[in-house]
Amino acid sequence: MEQRHPDLARFLMTGAVVGAVIAVLVAAFGRDVPYVNGLEEYLIFVVIGGGAGLAVGALAYLVADRPRLGS
């Protein structure tokens, strides 16, 4: 029986999407930022949240693939 390995792209995409969704929810239910357009606020939050989710997805991949990496 062949051992299955996690797929890096799926971990990264899932992390980025989950991070972006959480960021949109925070932007929607949080306080309004003065002197910033609503769309700009959402885009800033999506970029930051998506990047953070991408990093968390990469860490989750490293943890899931740890036996194959030799640690």
Q: Dump pLDDT digits (tens) for 20-66.
A: 999 999 988 988 778 878 888 899 999 999 999 999 999 999 998 87
CA distance 68 to 62: 10
By CB atoms closer than 10 A (0-12, 13-18, 19+), residue 46 is middle
CA distance 33 to 30: 9
* Segments making up each domain of the chain, as ranges: 8-65
pTM value surpassing 0.95 = no
Report the pLDDT value the prediction gives residue 65, as an integer from 0 to 100: 86
| Region class of 22: left (phi > 0), else alpha (psi between -120 and 50), else beta | alpha
